């Protein structure tokens, strides 16, 4: 079931576009912001609300990088792997994070604390390497700093 708040946010988006179809990406992102991911159940609810088939909505969901159709951990870390971060050593950042948390990119830690995902350029190239956790940007990363950052997420 969509919550009243999710429904309210989606209804507001519906006033901003001439078709209900246009809202499907916004709607999936709204659900994801509240639940962490978009479940099959949510897809059915959105399908009813927007008048689109689940199949068509899945066609959209699978196209976009940021729509998650699988559950994630309590925190999601996006590790930039694009060119400036690569030059500045993002592979070391990635290896340290993966080793420290015991999960590979695309995986969630066994305790459900973190999901680690690669991300394309975060637009922080002058402060590379960069990563983003739950929407917060971290720049000029090194191994010591990663340790400090991790203490903020339990």
Partner 1 sequence: MEKPLTGNFRPDKEAVSLAEYERAGGYQGLRRALSMAPVEVVELVKRSNLRGRGGAGFPTGMKWSFVPMGKEAPHPKYLVANADEMEPGTFKDRALMERDPHQLIEGMIVSAYAIEADIGYIFLRGEYECSHDRLSRAIAEARASNYIGRNIMGSGYSLEIHLHVSAGRYICGEETALLNALEGKRAHPRTKPPFPQVSGLWGKPTIVQNVETLCNVHHIVDKGPDWFRGLSRTEDGGTKLFGVSGKVKKPGLWELPMGTPMREILEDHAGGMCDGLLFRGLLPGGASTDFLVAEHLDTPMDYGNVQRAGSRLGTGTMVVLDDRTCPVGMVWNLEHFFAQESCGWCTPCWSGLAWTEKILFAMEQGKGIRRDLDTLIFQTKFLAPGNTFCAFAPGAVEPLQSALKYFADDFRRHVDEQRCPWR
| Binding positions for partner 1, rule: CB under 8 A | 16-19, 21-26, 28-29, 59-60, 63-67, 78, 81-84, 86-88, 119-128, 132, 135-137
Least Å from the CB of residue 90 to partner 1: 9
Nearer to partner 1, 91 or 111 (CB): 91
Cα separation, 131 vs 137, whole angstroms: 6
The Cα–Cα gap between 60 and 14 comes to 18
Peptide bond into 129 cis (omega under 30): yes
Q: What are the structure tokens assigned to 70, written together?
A: 């699988």
Q: Which is nearer to partner 1, 126 or 154 (CB)?
A: 126
Residues 154, 142: Cα–Cα separation, whole Å: 20
For partner 1, give the closer residue by CB, 100 or 125. Answer: 125
* Shortest Å, Cβ 112 to partner 1: 23
């Amino acid at each position: 079931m969509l919550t009243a708040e999710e429904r309210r946010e989606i209804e507001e988006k519906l006033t901003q576009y001439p078709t209900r179809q246009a809202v499907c990406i916004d709607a999936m992102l709204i659900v994801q912001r509240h639940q962490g991911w978009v479940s099959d159940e949510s897809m059915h609810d959105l399908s009813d609300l927007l008048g689109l088939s689940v199949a068509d909505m899945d066609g959209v969901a699978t196209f976009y990088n940021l729509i998650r159709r699988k559950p994630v951990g309590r925190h999601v870390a996006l590790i930039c792997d694009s060119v400036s971060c690569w030059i500045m050593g993002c592979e070391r950042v990635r290896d340290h994070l993966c080793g420290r948390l015991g999960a590979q990119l695309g995986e969630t830690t066994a305790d459900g604390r973190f999901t680690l995902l690669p991300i394309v350029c975060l637009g922080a190239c002058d402060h590379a390497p960069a990563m983003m956790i739950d929407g917060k940007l971290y720049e000029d990363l090194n191994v010591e700093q990663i340790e400090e950052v991790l203490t903020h997420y339990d």
